[in-house]
Homo-oligomer: A and B are copies of this chain.
Amino acid sequence: MIPEKHPRRVSLEVRHKLVDGFKKGLVAQAGLIAQGRGEAFDYLVGEKTSVIARKAEEAAVALMLLAENPVISVNGNAAALCPGEIARLASLVKAKVEVNLFYRSVEREKKIANVLKKAGVKKVYGVASKPKKIAGLQSNRRMIDEALWNSDVVLVPLEDGDRTEALVKMGKKVIAIDLNPMSRTSRKATVTIVDNIVRAMPEMVKHAGKLKKADEKKLRVIVNKFNNKKNLKNAEKLIRKSL
């Protein structure tokens, strides 16, 4: 369908995957708009994983491996775009996987859970659950599953600013994947990966494969060397240079 030589073929293929997820009821309308915002920022970072992003991806994996109870919190877009990588990363770093939707419906939760299970996730949390509420948040996303409530490190690909801030206030370490280095999510997260989720997740799986047998000391060195503020500044610079 997309001409082989189209200058932005990969980006269009990703878009088709998302539209397909929309048709299947995984992705919300707002998820399509969010995809477009992501495309624009991806274009500005050159549609490739930068050295800056790679550092954050490594630090994020080290943080997950050091965690007592890491959780990957999945929305419709993440499930539509990279269910296989979510399953592999969860298995490698021993993370729980929970579904967490802004536009919540049990039907959509179940569909997303099915896609994740098919991709290899053994247990999916947050489906038709009686969730706990995060104080001070208005949207549906204040509802979080028992799994997330008890977590110490949370990977939230494609998160909104309010919820990231709330999770950080709860004392959790938050890893965000966000192509806009100036967003509230990016500024509030503990580790911000300024990369497209379709590249970031495979990269994280690779790092997890390499690091899963590393000792605690090595992992701590990686985490301690990483400076999120500095890394975000560098991501901003990268965009400025691309213009």
Instruction: Write the A13-38 contact mask toward B (1 if CB under 8 angstroms, else 0).
Output: 00100110010000001101111111
Q: Which bucket holds chain A's interface residue count?
A: 20 to 34
Is the contact region of chain A dominated by helix, strand, or loop, or is it mixed? Answer: helix
User: Is A51 an interface residue when CB atoms closer than 8 A count as contact?
Assistant: no
Please tell me which one of the listed residues B36, B43, B180, B243 contacts residue A34 in the complex, with CB atoms under 8 A apart: B36
Is the Cβ of A30 less than 8 Å from the Cβ of B19? yes
Find the B residue at minimum CB distance from A236.
B243
- Smallest CB–CB gap between A219 and chain B, Å? 33
- Smallest CB–CB gap between A68 and chain B, Å? 34
- Smallest CB–CB gap between A29 and chain B, Å? 5
Is the Cβ of B36 less than 8 Å from the Cβ of A138? no
**9 A-B interface contacts by CB (under 8 A):** A15-B33, A32-B32, A33-B33, A33-B39, A35-B36, A40-B40, A40-B41, A43-B180, A243-B243
- Which residues of A pack against B, CB within 8 Å? 3, 7, 15, 18-19, 22, 29-30, 32-41, 43, 138, 180, 182, 184, 236, 239-240, 243
